[in-house]
Structure 1
Amino acid sequence: MSEQTWVTDNIPYLEVPTISIDIERRVGEKGVNYLKSKIPLGQHPVKVTERLQFWAHTTPKAIFLAQREDGGDWRTLTYVQAWQKIQGIGQYLLDTVTSKDRPIALLSGNSIEHGLLALAAMHIGIPYAPISPAYSLKSDSFEKLKHCLDVLDPELIFVQDGNAYKKALDGVASNTRNTRLVFVENGMPESDRFEDLLKTKSTPKVAEAYDKIGRETLAKVLFTSGSTGLPKGVMNTHGNLTANWQQITQTFPFVQNGALQLMDWLPWNHTFGSNHNFGLVMYNGGSLYIDEGSPTPTGMLQSIKNLKGFAPTVYFNVPKGFEELLPFLNTDEDLRQTFFSRLKMLFYAGASISQKVWDELDRLSIQTTGKRILISSGFGMTESSPSAMFCTAYDSKAGFLGVPVPGLEMKLVPMGDRWEARFKGPNITPGYWKNEVATANAFDREGFYKTSEALKFIDEGDPNVGMRYDGRIAEDFKLSTGTWVNVGNLRDNIIAQGKGLVKDVVITGHDRDFVGAVLFLNLGYCADFLGGERQTTDSNAAHSLPIRDRVQEMLDTLAQNSTGSSTKVKRALIADFELSPERGEVTEKGSINQYAFLKHRSSLVAKLYGHNLEPGILETNY
């Protein structure tokens, strides 16, 4: 990436309509703050598929979903086709699923068939649960897959590809006795074929089941990533989902009436890809083109191929996705021109983005269009379906989260100089599937969901300016001296000080004498720094003497600017290994699971705290 500093203050923005900010603050006992928008939540449907029916009648030929056929031409599904197909699938489900206490399980990545089955299930009031493909395809023990199936006890399991999931299905055979299987491809004997579901003739029972759905009817179960244990099944009701789609649409009204055109890879077993992106497209009559890529070196090649032929109006991604996209936008003018041609907003979530990546996106937008594009983010979670806050200010910075969405109240409980965020409103989950203990512990006495996430006011005197992220409380720890370490802040400081060198970092030091760090470097940056070509970059570049000197310089600067032991990284190790999805060290969104890493890499961490400085470990003398 270029080290050139771009002055953007006088460059105009491409202006798009966003919600007015008008926040009411109330201060309660013990300094607790309560914030909510004075703008009321607008009317929204009772049932998830009401909007699908609306668009099937209003814009029947508009493309709803599209997916490449074996990497070739796009196969499309219009709104009227989707509406018609879910009637037959719904009838099949009514004929085969007898209990709503046994949600349908989906073993599949993003696909048109996945989307149709999910909508059909919700259309007739039967909950479904998409299970992370990683639990099947990147595991040998299938521990998390078995756990999810045990919790769900599904009568029916949908499988996209029998060949891909054969090993997993064999591994969980004892967990799936008396379970009906539906395959799209490569099915097993005595299983049902998805194409036969589409041939099922609907009866009045489908409409009768639909009519019984209320706001409290369970729509789906989404499993958390299981960062501190086995995944929990978050319940999202019909009312949770439709309320949140309305909250998002009120915040960004430019997505209405088919204006939301997405090329998107984010997985539908996660709330960002599923509830937010897939659901928001359907709610507003837009189009979602399924990107088979991902923010990996190989996956990005597929994403770039797709983006070269499709101009999104909004681009949603996780920070790692934007980091991987930047080199291609920098070097491919045709891609850049297409990408920005009708873009109204860039939106990141799932983790914190670095200011350097933000500035690069700003620069590329100006270079291509002469204007700056709104870069936005917010705060959300599976339990809020997912959106709780949004930042809509044009002059915001990386890490700004904005203010609560209409209809949602935020409670801020003081914790020193920061606040724990808690929420209550129509988009908040009623709890966890078949887990009464976790449900009871998740809410406080006033009924607010406890996030265990810390926020800070950007301006203590004006809540309209919004909040910024201040770390996950559960990740923070004490040194042996009793001094608290704010992991989120320290991580962000290291990445910012690296100026593109550090992609991610694990902070260590629980009950130790000092803070340490395991650094994951940006290999593209290393290659550029060494004057090499990105295509020839390998892990050796990260361990070259010039790069080690650059890391040493960064550690020394951090130490010189530290305010004490909690903000000073004394020792660091440059990672020379890949993170393990099997162990849960890396999420599907590309971010590091700090808890899982520290659990499984204890011997590596111990090297940072040895009496003698081992080879490969850097130490600051400041």
Structure 2
Amino acid sequence: MSSPRFWSPTFEIERRDDGTILMRQSEPLEDHFPTLADYLDHWADATPDRTWLARRQNGGNWVGVPYAEARRAARRIGAALLELGLGPERPLLILSENSLEHGLLGLACSWVGIPYAPVSPAYSLVSKDHGKLRDIAATLNPGAVFADDGAAFSTALDAIAAPGRVVLNARHPVDGALLYDDLRSVSEAPAEAARAALTAETVVKYLFTSGSTGSPKAVINTNGMMTAMAAMTRDCYRFLEDEPPVVLDWAPWNHTAAGNKVSSLVLTNGGTYYIDDGRPVPGKFDETIRNLREIACTWYFNVPLGYDMLVEALETDEALRDTFYSRLSMMFYAGAGMAQHTWDRLIALGHEATGREVLLATGLGSTETAPFALACTEPQKKAGNVGVPSRGLTLKLVPAGGKLEARLKGPTMTPGYLDDPEKTAEVFDDEGFYCLGDALKPVDPDDLARGFYFDGRVAENFKLSTGTWVTVGAVRGALVDALGGLARDAVIVGEDKPELGALILLSEKAANTPRSDVEAALRERLAVAAAAASGSASRVRRMAILETPPSFDRGEVTEKGSLNQRAMRAHNVDLIETLYAGGPGIVAV
């Protein structure tokens, strides 16, 4: 008999006199292995020939690494890295994107206790001054730096070169670099000894925050955090007990979503991870579709933009649709709000393909929470429910500015930021709860077990001159949805103004349409949206088109394309003044 598909949690809820709410699951977190290396050893023994990680070779056939081979490589590479002098004080810095080499280097580090830090390739390939990359290198003082393609990363490697720092390349090596394929050691005994010394407190990796408000901070990720998170996901997604997960994922491993949650979901449950070299951008999404024709996932992750593009393909290709839904237990989205029309179409397609509702859900967490924290497993009629706290966590909701600020405590919380006690102290309250910086709104105030809606980033929100608080995230999502494909994103403005405005980034299609036609269409849709809004805090009355793309180096946009609302407002003061003064180019209703 198969296990339940998802959890059925019960809760203990405490309400304090000051309005603070504490919520936790009644049952404790189940026992689990203390280190990721324990899971690799388990699956290498139990299923030695099952593929752990796979990628297309030069765009052709899939090349996979079985679990037994992965452990052998971890032992061999780990011994070589130790011989190079790497260790807890001399971590490995990884500059390049997802690859088999990247995956095996990270696995080797985790097997012998060498912290590693995958960082955004954009810091090397997009940034013009490599400022953030230099800050990262200064924070870590890495003993070695890996960049898959030495030629492509040569400028970045020069920017962080230091005496005694080893450079590793897999292809096109720079002068003096050590080739990945040459990572060998005289003896693997040091790797075995290091493996035996691992504990739950051993640092696995450092993941860097976006650095949108300054230098990126190195979030400490321990074995205990990641294995506790794996136990939480296994408790939540009970279908993992019936068959090993199969995932196809493009999201970068320098982000906690793919680098921690998806990767550990696969490794700790003996599953298979197919690296998707496609991306949810024009010109690259065809590769994702090609891969989805061949790989039937049991658990699928994407950002809302990726689902916007995927649903178009699923609706026009019945064979693709049937393969996509054939083994699928659920779809998960994160990174932004999902448009309701995309949500409705994905649910309908699932019904057509399977005769049942395939769960489409999101959750809430952060780099500092490993990231799995809140999850929704109840079918919903609309997007937005981020769910309830996972087993082992306590959710604390603190009244702030008319909202409920979310804080968390439990075994998946980071110990802090590397060598930054001041920033660490800032993000924990006096009871030891990590402050997410997010506000939550109960679906039903009388039944918190029904979950919560994301109610905006506390730091992004602002007040109108009337004193009314504006929930920027909700307004932005509703506006982009209402503009019906004309805008790919929006910056919500209006702090200390009587009404809301927006600076919008046109979609590719709108950018190639005559401006007068675009402005007319924007005005028409803005009028409809404004008429339907419930009040001044949700009614956008004027818009201006952003002519200059947001800058990565200025912290206005992340590599995923998410806009930093505060930075965009701060850097577009003149345009905002023009927006409220009115005139040519301003769309107002």
Q: What band does the TM-score fall into relative to the shorter chain?
A: over 0.9
User: 2:278 aligns to what?
Assistant: 293
SS of residue in 2 equivalent to 1:24: strand
Distance apart, 1:342 and its partner CA: 1.6
SS of residue in 1 equivalent to 2:374: strand
- Residue identity matched to 2:368: E
User: 2:515 aligns to what?
Assistant: 543
- Within a 5 Å distance, the mapping from 1:444-463 to structure 2 comes to 444-463=429-448
Kindly tell me: are residues 78 and 589 of structure 1, through their superposed partners in 2, closer, same or farther at Cα, counting changes over 3 Å?
A: same
Q: Which moved more, 1:585-594 or 1:302-311?
A: 585-594
Contact 2:113 2:195 in 1 (8 A): yes
Given the alignment, which residue of 100, 110, 121 partners 1:112? 100
**1:385 and 2:370 matched:** yes
**1:165 and 2:150 matched:** no
Contact 1:257 1:285 in 2 (8 A): no
User: 1:330 aligns to what?
Assistant: 315
Contact 2:116 2:204 in 1 (8 A): yes
- Residue identity matched to 2:344: D
Q: Please give the per-residue CA displacement for 1:396-439, whole angstroms capped at 9, x wherever unaligned.
A: 53110111000011110012542100000000001001111100
Distance apart, 1:212 and its partner CA: 1.6
**1:207 and 2:195 matched:** no
- Within a 5 Å distance, the mapping from 1:504-583 to structure 2 comes to 504-523=489-508, 537=509, 539-541=511-513, 543=515, 545=517, 547-575=518-546, 578-583=549-554
**1:221 and 2:192 matched:** no
**1:43 and 2:31 matched:** yes
User: 2:566 aligns to what?
Assistant: 595
- Residue identity matched to 1:114: H
Contact 1:263 1:310 in 2 (8 A): yes
- Residue identity matched to 1:377: T
Given the alignment, which residue of 80, 83, 86 partners 2:71? 83
- Residue identity matched to 1:347: F
Contact 1:261 1:286 in 2 (8 A): yes
- Residue identity matched to 2:14: R
Kindly tell me: are residues 479 and 542 of structure 1, through their superposed partners in 2, closer, same or farther at Cα, counting changes over 3 Å?
A: farther
Distance apart, 1:314 and its partner CA: 1.4
CA distance in 1, matches of 2:129, 2:474: 35
Runs of 4+ in 1 over 6 A off after TM superposition: none
CA distance in 1, matches of 2:525, 2:584: 19
**1:614 and 2:583 matched:** yes
CA distance in 1, matches of 2:304, 2:239: 23
Contact 1:234 1:429 in 2 (8 A): yes
User: 2:109 aligns to what?
Assistant: 121
SS of residue in 2 equivalent to 1:518: strand
- Residue identity matched to 2:26: K
Contact 1:262 1:315 in 2 (8 A): yes
Contact 1:320 1:590 in 2 (8 A): no
Distance apart, 1:72 and its partner CA: 1.3
- Within a 5 Å distance, the mapping from 1:307-386 to structure 2 comes to 307-386=292-371
User: 1:151 aligns to what?
Assistant: 139
Kindly tell me: are residues 522 and 188 of structure 1, through their superposed partners in 2, closer, same or farther at Cα, counting changes over 3 Å?
A: closer
Which segments of 5 or more consecutive residues in structure 2 lack a partner in the other structure?
none
- Residue identity matched to 1:539: A
Distance apart, 1:136 and its partner CA: 0.3
Q: Please give the per-residue CA displacement for 1:146-185, whole angstroms capped at 9, x wherever unaligned.
A: 1111111111111211011012122333xx3321111111
Contact 1:257 1:286 in 2 (8 A): no
- Residue identity matched to 2:203: L
What TM-score do you get using the length of structure 1 for normalisation? 0.90
Contact 1:148 1:231 in 2 (8 A): yes
Q: Please give the per-residue CA displacement for 1:285-334, whole angstroms capped at 9, x wherever unaligned.
A: 11111011111102212211211222211110111111122222222233
CA distance in 2, matches of 1:604, 1:172: 37
Distance apart, 1:598 and its partner CA: 2.5
Which segments of 5 or more consecutive residues in structure 1 lack a partner in the other structure?
1-14, 524-536
SS of residue in 1 equivalent to 2:128: coil
Given the alignment, which residue of 47, 51, 62 partners 1:59? 47
Q: Which moved more, 1:206-215 or 1:153-162?
A: 206-215
Distance apart, 1:280 and its partner CA: 1.0
CA distance in 1, matches of 2:410, 2:181: 40
CA distance in 1, matches of 2:301, 2:174: 37
Contact 2:486 2:510 in 1 (8 A): no
- Within a 5 Å distance, the mapping from 1:233-244 to structure 2 comes to 233-244=218-229
CA distance in 2, matches of 1:483, 1:189: 60
Contact 1:539 1:576 in 2 (8 A): no
Distance apart, 1:187 and its partner CA: 1.4
Contact 2:83 2:185 in 1 (8 A): no
Distance apart, 1:481 and its partner CA: 4.1
Given the alignment, which residue of 3, 8, 20 partners 1:20? 8
Distance apart, 1:240 and its partner CA: 0.2
- Residue identity matched to 2:363: G
- Residue identity matched to 1:569: V
CA distance in 2, matches of 1:563, 1:253: 40
Contact 1:292 1:303 in 2 (8 A): yes
Kindly tell me: are residues 359 and 502 of structure 1, through their superposed partners in 2, closer, same or farther at Cα, counting changes over 3 Å?
A: farther
* Fraction of identical pairs, as percent: 41
User: 1:8 aligns to what?
Assistant: none
SS of residue in 1 equivalent to 2:108: helix
Q: How much is the aligned-residue C-alpha RMSD, in angstroms?
A: 2.0
SS of residue in 2 equivalent to 1:163: coil
Contact 1:16 1:344 in 2 (8 A): no
CA distance in 2, matches of 1:584, 1:542: 30
Q: Please give the per-residue CA displacement for 1:44-84, whole angstroms capped at 9, x wherever unaligned.
A: 11111111111111111101111111111111100000001
Contact 2:213 2:555 in 1 (8 A): no
User: 1:187 aligns to what?
Assistant: 173
SS of residue in 1 equivalent to 2:151: helix
Q: Which moved more, 1:331-340 or 1:467-476?
A: 331-340
CA distance in 2, matches of 1:53, 1:521: 50
CA distance in 2, matches of 1:597, 1:563: 26
SS of residue in 2 equivalent to 1:587: coil
- Residue identity matched to 2:319: D
CA distance in 1, matches of 2:391, 2:75: 33
CA distance in 2, matches of 1:37, 1:238: 23
User: 1:534 aligns to what?
Assistant: none
**1:232 and 2:217 matched:** yes
User: 1:440 aligns to what?
Assistant: 425
Distance apart, 1:606 and its partner CA: 3.2
SS of residue in 1 equivalent to 2:283: helix
Distance apart, 1:27 and its partner CA: 1.2
User: 1:178 aligns to what?
Assistant: 164
CA distance in 2, matches of 1:512, 1:79: 59
**1:74 and 2:62 matched:** yes
SS of residue in 1 equivalent to 2:39: helix
Distance apart, 1:563 and its partner CA: 4.6
CA distance in 2, matches of 1:128, 1:420: 32
Q: Which moved more, 1:15-24 or 1:311-320?
A: 15-24
Contact 1:413 1:419 in 2 (8 A): yes
Q: Please give the per-residue CA displacement for 1:463-488, whole angstroms capped at 9, x wherever unaligned.
A: 11111110001001123444322212
Q: Which moved more, 1:550-559 or 1:225-234?
A: 550-559
Contact 1:257 1:284 in 2 (8 A): no
Distance apart, 1:123 and its partner CA: 1.2
Q: Please give the per-residue CA displacement for 1:189-227, whole angstroms capped at 9, x wherever unaligned.
A: 332111111x33543322221222211111110001122
CA distance in 1, matches of 2:327, 2:575: 47
Contact 2:363 2:375 in 1 (8 A): yes
| Residue correspondences, number | 587
Q: Please give the per-residue CA displacement for 1:351-395, whole angstroms capped at 9, x wherever unaligned.
A: 221222111111222233333211111101100000111000023
Given the alignment, which residue of 604, 607, 621 partners 2:575? 604
Q: Please give the per-residue CA displacement for 1:242-298, whole angstroms capped at 9, x wherever unaligned.
A: 000110111002123653111110100000011011111001111111011111102
- Residue identity matched to 2:587: L
